[in-house]
Chain A
Amino acid sequence: MLSQIGASVTNSLAYVGSLASLGGRAAFYTFVGPFRGKPLRLQRAIAQAMEVGVRALPILSLITFFIGLILALQAAYELRRFGAINLVATAVAVSMTRELGPLITAIVVIGRSGSAFAAEIGTMKVTEEIDALETMAISPIHFLVTPKFLAMIIMLPCLTIWANAMGIVGGSLFGVAQADFTWKRYLEASIDALFMRDITTGLIKSVMFGITITAVGCLEGLSTGAGAEEVGRSTTRAVVMSIFMVVVVDLIFTMMFFFASEH
């Protein structure tokens, strides 16, 4: 029993270690590599950014619009008991920007792109394309992971800002229909409720989520075993592990921001 716990702790630590190593190497090629004669693959990064970011907009807009609406309904359920239904705009704006905007965006991106990273790299592993890159003296990290990494750390904050806005729009629908707001007053109330800090903490989180999702997706892809069914397995693992890791990272950063704001 104890040895099992010990083994699973060691395994988890080893996993986090490999994630950190992969993320570190991708960060090296992104920030240091260009100054050492290893240029960034901007074209590939832009293609990835289109896929990760722009193509996610429709579904992300719809989901966060609904989430904003749901938040308003849930908040109003409690607030109206105290006759404070006019606080609904504040509740939606703060919980969207600090927490749900980054988190929902991350989950949508995991579903669309984290899984795709694992499937793409996993398939390349099975068909020996990763080996081919290595025999051509091309680093798979530099060639495959870095453009994804760059696309993620740029696009995830952008998507998050968009998601925040769509959530507030969703909340305003309730505000206007049920809480005697006008569109303009709802918007003003939302902006008043937000401090710059709320927005930046959300954006810092979203950058960390982007790094996490890329690292997990690519690591699962790169550790794919032989055979087509293994690709399916890596894809599933990538999604489950990414959601878990994103929640863990979220908890860590929320705690950090909480204790930092005390002083």
Chain B
Amino acid sequence: MEFSIDRENTDSQNSEVMLSLRGLRVSYGEREILHGINFDVMRGETLVILGGSGSGKSTLLRTLVGLEKPSSGEIWIKGKNIAAISQAEMDEIRRKIGMSFQGGALFGSMTVGENVALPLREHTKLEDSTIEIMLRLKLEQVGLEGFEYYMPSQLSGGMKKRAAVARALAMDPEILFFDEPSAGLDPIIAAGIDQLILELKKAFRMTIIVVTHELASAFLIADRMVLIDKGNVVAIGTVEEMRSSRQPRVRQFLDRVAEPEVARELDYLQMLTEDRRQRVD
């Protein structure tokens, strides 16, 4: 009986859309990077955005947190279309999201503790002593207790990422974004970061969106996956659906089939223009 109630809870949780993309297009100058992306992210799920280098997955993430403006389309977060809201409203949304950057992006001139406390000091009127307790708590959650007085330059790559996660968690975000969480880490440390993401998911039922090209890590942490290729969504589905997919592009990515590298400049240009023509058609 208890089990079924529990299930119902998760079901109702899963049915609530947290973030929704409609026809999202992003361009850098003349060049369009994303050609109309549509998908929904449910509350409490971990969505992994997979894609090769230059697929547009990082641009997608930057657009979701408001660092790039879409040229058209809608991004709905908490009932607001962030593609068309004021700076003040965007700042309001940003307090509900956390982002962990690829290299950590910790502020080099501040200690780890000051880094984690920064959003709290900026956006809340909490007492210093309260902030002190909260930052210890956040550091404990990521396994960095006792490191608040270290400078970021004194930390290893994995610890920097953990500290960055602690900072992203500072405001108790509803959505947590990760850009390449295992980039530049050895497999053991990277597995540690995967574990951390799983723990956060279990402990807080947070909505987590991860951009990565690491297949092992993706299959471990994801509830659902989106495969992006050349600025389009190629496939979206649960881990099992992806694994059993027969779609050639998905198979190629998951089975790591090498693609003949474009060697000559002309071929490369042709590839780009063909791409564009297909899009126009």
B222, CB-defined interface residue at 8 Å = no
What is the bound-complex CA distance between A132 and B110, given in angstroms?
A: 14
**Chain A 205-249 per-residue mask, 1 if CB under 8 angstroms from chain B, else 0:** 000000000000000000000000000000000000000000000
Decide: A135 and B94 in contact? CB cutoff 8 A: yes
B99, CB-defined interface residue at 8 Å = yes
**Chain B 81-118 per-residue mask, 1 if CB under 8 angstroms from chain A, else 0:** 00000000011101101110111011110000000001
Decide: A127 and B103 in contact? CB cutoff 8 A: yes
Point out the residue from A131, A135, A138 that lies within 8 Å of B97, measured CB to CB. A135
Residues of A within 8 A of B94 (CB): 134-137
Decide: A138 and B66 in contact? CB cutoff 8 A: no
A78, CB-defined interface residue at 8 Å = no
Decide: B122 and A132 in contact? CB cutoff 8 A: no
What is the bound-complex CA distance between A129 and B160, given in angstroms?
A: 13
Q: In this complex, what residue of B is CB-closest to A123?
A: B108
Point out the residue from B102, B103, B108, B122 that lies within 8 Å of A136, measured CB to CB. B122
Decide: B103 and A128 in contact? CB cutoff 8 A: yes
A151 to chain B, nearest CB (A): 15
B221, CB-defined interface residue at 8 Å = no
What is the bound-complex CA distance between A137 and B91, given in angstroms?
A: 5
Beyond A135-B66, A137-B123, whether A128 also contacts B101 by CB under 8 A is yes
Decide: A134 and B102 in contact? CB cutoff 8 A: no
Interface size on B, residues (CB 8 A): 25
B65, CB-defined interface residue at 8 Å = yes
B262, CB-defined interface residue at 8 Å = no
**Chain B 166-178 per-residue mask, 1 if CB under 8 angstroms from chain A, else 0:** 0100010000000
What is the bound-complex CA distance between A136 and B90, given in angstroms?
A: 11
Within 8 A of B (CB), among A116-133: 123-124, 127-129, 131-132
Residues of A within 8 A of B90 (CB): 137
What is the bound-complex CA distance between A132 and B164, given in angstroms?
A: 10
A263 to chain B, nearest CB (A): 45
B201 to chain A, nearest CB (A): 20
What is the bound-complex CA distance between A106 and B274, given in angstroms?
A: 54
**Chain A 134-161 per-residue mask, 1 if CB under 8 angstroms from chain B, else 0:** 1111100000000000000000000000
Residues of B at under 8 Å CB distance from A?
62, 65-67, 90-92, 94-95, 97-99, 101-103, 105-108, 118-119, 122-123, 167, 171
Q: List 12 A-B contacts (CB under 8 A).
A: A127-B108, A128-B102, A128-B105, A129-B107, A131-B62, A134-B66, A135-B97, A137-B90, A137-B95, A137-B122, A137-B123, A138-B119
Additional pairs, 19, CB under 8 Å, beyond known A128-B102, A136-B167:
A124-B107, A128-B101, A128-B103, A128-B105, A129-B106, A131-B62, A132-B99, A132-B105, A132-B107, A134-B67, A135-B97, A136-B94, A136-B119, A136-B122, A136-B171, A137-B92, A137-B95, A138-B118, A138-B122
